């Protein structure tokens, strides 16, 4: 199973872009990169996922390097409510039954 490596913590100023890196150097060709976040005392929340191409939705952008060994989640204008633990996950298993292996994530603190 592919593993991910993330920094333990990061700070970001409110209103600035938050760029959260993730290393997944052993990812295989058919594995997706997923990002979730968990705000204190809540269940994890899906943010975005991608395979090869960069992706954008209403919450964030996902930039995946050409060799797919790393990716960056970008929150374009971070707010205080974005303070959370962010998990980068490589999805294992086949079909929709594959479970998500959550690592320790990056604790993002957005400061005023």
Binding site for another protein (CB under 8 A): 32, 34, 36, 41-46, 49, 87, 91, 95-105
The strand ranges marked E within the chain are 9-13, 18-23, 33-38, 45-50, 55-56, 61-64, 70-75, 84-90, 106-111
In this complex, which beta carbon is closest to another protein, that of residue 58 or of residue 67?
58
Give the nearest distance from C-beta 65 to another protein in angstroms: 22
Give the nearest distance from C-beta 32 to another protein in angstroms: 8
Give the nearest distance from C-beta 82 to another protein in angstroms: 18
From the list 48, 90, 85, the residue with the least C-alpha distance to 68 is 90
In this complex, which beta carbon is closest to another protein, that of residue 53 or of residue 66?
53
In this complex, which beta carbon is closest to another protein, that of residue 15 or of residue 98?
98
**Residue 108, both tokens:** 């993002």
Give the nearest distance from C-beta 14 to another protein in angstroms: 26
In this complex, which beta carbon is closest to another protein, that of residue 78 or of residue 88?
88
Strand order in the sheet with 84-90: 9-13, 106-111, 84-90, 33-38, 45-50
Distance from CA of residue 82 to its chain's centroid?
13
């Amino acid at each position: 199973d592919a593993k991910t490596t993330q920094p333990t913590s990061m700070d970001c100023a409110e209103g600035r872009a938050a760029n959260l890196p993730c290393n997944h150097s052993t990812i295989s060709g058919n594995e997706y990169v997923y990002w979730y976040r968990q705000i204190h005392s809540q269940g994890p929340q899906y943010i975005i996922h991608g395979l090869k191409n960069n992706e954008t939705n209403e919450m964030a952008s996902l930039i995946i390097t050409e060799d797919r060994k790393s990716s960056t989640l970008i929150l374009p204008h971070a707010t205080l409510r974005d303070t959370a633990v962010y998990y980068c996950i490589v999805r294992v298993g086949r079909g929709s039954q594959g479970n998500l292996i959550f690592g320790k994530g990056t604790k993002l603190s957005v400061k005023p």
